[in-house]
Structure 1
């Protein structure tokens, strides 16, 4: 009976994992390295949560350390309960919904970094997007925005000087939809005004202390056209939260009488339960990172023209200006890249991170460099977490040594191995590691070069959102103490490769030349297996040409 039961469980796990990776079960063999099939941290979190809800005592760290089906079969079989338990989640934490509660780690970093006088501060961490559509009704949109603000408590968040947050009651929040009516303007005047609005919204630091955390604007244009402006401060929501907000806003605009799924947990309660459930993992991870502090390299020594520790204020508009560089891989190119990566035993996120590291290494005067990798850590503690808005992000530090010109596939495999180890110990996050490095060195240590992979999150803007609001024509993000934020997101069934660059930091021409090299390297990896088997060659005009201030 035990063998029959175990065989059934093995096939159930194979189907579960294949579904999570968007594969057919037959594609996964017992010894398959699941990272080569696109496994990422978000999928791991979801799988661990799903199995814990079935009563299996398994953690994210357990799964990432043994990433093959055979190992997972054995682990789950060993820890499966003798009787089915429908819920092994932590006991509910009861919190006063109106009481202040502490900031999450990344929230605290955003709060500190946005203050005037911080090194490369004076900037809020936020996402700004424009959608070009038609025939949006300002009255219906304002009504939907009001309902959205009532539904999501984080849109009513207030932040205090003692590093806490609380939520205002819906009746105490004034919802404001900014409407610009340009329908009677001449074409040239319209374009000038749209450019002014784009620059203003892209670089606006919201007043989060007073509750300015989510801004929605609508520009009415000639011939029934519209432009929707959406700005979300990362203090209250991560990239997945932006997706949730846009999906809910669409629903509330189109179907105001149809209830949305209930949200059975608040953000404060989630943070408390997540911290309690992960306390032991955090202790283990802290020990692991402490043992490796001395081996972590410094940030890339890029050709900068501003001291990275320069105190910056919001009024320093030149130093606060962000420019986006972008390149879209169409669905065919995305499929080709994923296929080649899999055949070489590398996940697509690791392959793109390695390509980014090669390019940054080429422009750095030091071949060893520290990269900042955000993670998405939305653990399904309760069913309502899937609908919850909040900052569920974390980060890890990734050291990369580009000294030796090795075949690209070797670089990518090493990056993948180090990413895997870092994520396995991500309970002690990158912000904490940087604080430890600063204490150890006696001076501030920053990790201002960021690589964010949202592969596995799905389309950043789903088809129904675009059908109502229009196509996204402008996407940009800013963050304090960040020079360069490289992002990979899924869009229109392809991949969008972005660099958000704090342009005044760099010598003229450097960001454009480096991004062109990145785009060309990714293109070669899409097109030709030989690019995987050979070193990348010279990328910068002169190898190790960085001249940091």
Structure 2
């Protein structure tokens, strides 16, 4: 459909109703917005971006007062990190101004950014709202890797990409919860998406929520031996499930009612939800439960978003592809930790979680030390993770995989959408010729910044190219995931409705060890999810303890001048 065709609007304007009226309204809004943006881009090219405008954009992203930023300050000292830098890249891209992540993060100063912005190329954004229709559409490269991993064709396969968490609360209105879940799904069509045999996905029309399953254990206390045993069995059942995604079952809620409290078991397949999407799901569910009303419609579909990216990111993709094809020739091997068995010998993959929590005080200390040394906090975590892997593998040069949450806010409501926007960055860890923690972090930050400049060629595609050259399997081995800067995974409104979060775990096919750090209870929660059966007894416990100790040491400047 041509949304610029006036006859379409004339035909519908006489009696716009229902879905047609919404489309009509949003189409007009889109045209007006894009015309304004393109006019802005032309004005911007004639009149240089001002320092005041730049500081205003930064203040909005960093959550600080515009008067606090001094032009001579390093923006890292104000909390700039990769997530916030990507947000700014996408904000300016939505205005028709293309700047590269690597350019910004490698020179985090206002004068440098002004120069970059004022010499950036201008793109003419489409006035027409993209529409992919309601038919099947292609998987992203990461979705495809998850989908293939559900089969048992590869070592450590036959596993879904899956997230599970338990909440416990005194009581809950189940009928009201069911209604809220239905409203949540109505707002987020990817929650009723099915995955077809041909490797495509399609949103099911007129999908209906089946309702929460409730199992009542009567007078049994959750704290009794019987109650603990029941919970353990339920956890084993639901925490590693392969949901029937081919039927459009991509998430589930179950309730276990005990004498004194209820447990809510929530699970979702990561084919349809990245970390931020899980946060959005739970927050929207809590809102629908509290307000007892429908939620505003999301004005863009995930398939429309992918269509836009495919059409307008071709040049970036080709540049990134050539970069990685050249760089692969010089890439090190993946990390090789000591194993007690081969991945091929494991028939049933089971993940185990190790966790620790850094207090608000220690989080602030780490932030202060990182900024003082010109390093972002996620890079500090990445480097320390690399140091631990290096110590137990006797390798100083290897690669790991880093999920990047690549939401490009280029269409309406992208930041409110539930879908899997994950990209993968194949990140070199290079600890050769470094003598101090500061040197190791600085080197790692340079590698990360350069690599992020070419993320349009997905890390999944990079890994496939590596596998082709090595004649090996597509194995991800060690993963580093950071949610620092994304806010609390489970916010207070969710806790009011669903209760206190307890046990949680995730799993990903063909992954041996997955490090995650997220903001939690005012501090930082660090999780290692691992296939323990692969490793010698005690090895991962020792590694995790060493990781925790290195983080605590990094709270003091004296430990930045040694390794």
Whether these two folds match at TM > 0.5 is yes
Distance of 1:361 and 1:393 partners within structure 2: 26
Q: 2:59 aligns with which of 15, 18, 21?
A: 18
Shift in Å, 1:487: 0.6
Within a 5 Å distance, the mapping from 1:8-407 to structure 2 comes to 9-25=50-66, 28-30=69-71, 32-35=73-76, 37-60=78-101, 63-64=104-105, 66-79=107-120, 88=125, 91-97=128-134, 99-170=135-206, 172-186=207-221, 187-223=224-260, 225-257=261-293, 259-308=294-343, 310=344, 316-317=347-348, 320-404=349-433, 406-407=435-436
Distance of 1:353 and 1:90 partners within structure 2: 41
Within a 5 Å distance, the mapping from 1:444-463 to structure 2 comes to 444-463=473-492
Distance of 1:105 and 1:145 partners within structure 2: 29
Distance of 2:545 and 2:322 partners within structure 1: 40
Distance of 1:500 and 1:36 partners within structure 2: 32
Distance of 1:7 and 1:27 partners within structure 2: 23
Shift in Å, 1:6: 7.4
Partner SS for 2:554: helix
1:431-460, CA deviations, whole angstroms, 9 ceiling, x for partnerless residues? 111111111222225221000111111111
Shift in Å, 1:13: 0.8
The answer to whether 1:534 aligns with 2:562 is yes
1:145-188, CA deviations, whole angstroms, 9 ceiling, x for partnerless residues? 22222322111111112110001113x44523121212322532
Shift in Å, 1:79: 4.9
Question: Would you say the 8 A contact 2:195–2:247 is kept in 1?
Answer: yes
Distance of 1:465 and 1:388 partners within structure 2: 18
Cα pair distance change 1:55/1:116, threshold 3 Å: closer
Question: Would you say the 8 A contact 2:217–2:257 is kept in 1?
Answer: yes
Distance of 2:363 and 2:494 partners within structure 1: 23
Question: Would you say the 8 A contact 2:100–2:453 is kept in 1?
Answer: no
Distance of 1:7 and 1:272 partners within structure 2: 32
Distance of 2:339 and 2:127 partners within structure 1: 48
Question: Would you say the 8 A contact 1:116–1:311 is kept in 2?
Answer: no
Question: Would you say the 8 A contact 2:164–2:265 is kept in 1?
Answer: yes
What is the total number of aligned residue pairs between the two structures?
517
Distance of 1:286 and 1:29 partners within structure 2: 38
Within a 5 Å distance, the mapping from 1:444-523 to structure 2 comes to 444-523=473-552
Distance of 1:91 and 1:342 partners within structure 2: 43
Shift in Å, 1:241: 0.7
Question: Would you say the 8 A contact 1:14–1:28 is kept in 2?
Answer: yes
Point out where structure 2 has 5 or more consecutive residues left out of the alignment: 1-42
Partner SS for 2:468: helix
Distance of 1:103 and 1:387 partners within structure 2: 20
Question: Would you say the 8 A contact 1:325–1:500 is kept in 2?
Answer: yes
Cα pair distance change 1:31/1:502, threshold 3 Å: farther
Question: Would you say the 8 A contact 1:89–1:381 is kept in 2?
Answer: no
Q: Tell me which residue corresponds to 2:446.
A: 417
Distance of 2:52 and 2:192 partners within structure 1: 46
Point out the more displaced range, 53-62 or 477-486.
53-62
Question: Would you say the 8 A contact 1:37–1:347 is kept in 2?
Answer: no
Question: Would you say the 8 A contact 1:117–1:311 is kept in 2?
Answer: no
Cα pair distance change 1:113/1:31, threshold 3 Å: farther
1:368-389, CA deviations, whole angstroms, 9 ceiling, x for partnerless residues? 2211111010111122212211
Partner SS for 2:400: strand
1:312-343, CA deviations, whole angstroms, 9 ceiling, x for partnerless residues? 6xxx33xx111111111111111111011000
Distance of 1:20 and 1:108 partners within structure 2: 32
Shift in Å, 1:15: 3.0
Cα pair distance change 1:119/1:254, threshold 3 Å: same
Point out where structure 1 has 5 or more consecutive residues left out of the alignment: 536-549
Shift in Å, 1:62: 5.1
Point out the more displaced range, 233-242 or 394-403.
394-403
Cα pair distance change 1:195/1:17, threshold 3 Å: same
Question: Would you say the 8 A contact 1:64–1:424 is kept in 2?
Answer: no
Distance of 2:494 and 2:87 partners within structure 1: 24
Partner SS for 2:490: coil
Shift in Å, 1:36: 5.5
Partner SS for 1:426: coil
Distance of 1:23 and 1:463 partners within structure 2: 22
Shift in Å, 1:421: 1.0
Question: Would you say the 8 A contact 2:388–2:547 is kept in 1?
Answer: yes
Q: Tell me which residue corresponds to 1:540.
A: none
Q: Cα RMSD (Å) of the superposition?
A: 2.3
Distance of 2:68 and 2:209 partners within structure 1: 53
TM-score by length of 2: 0.87
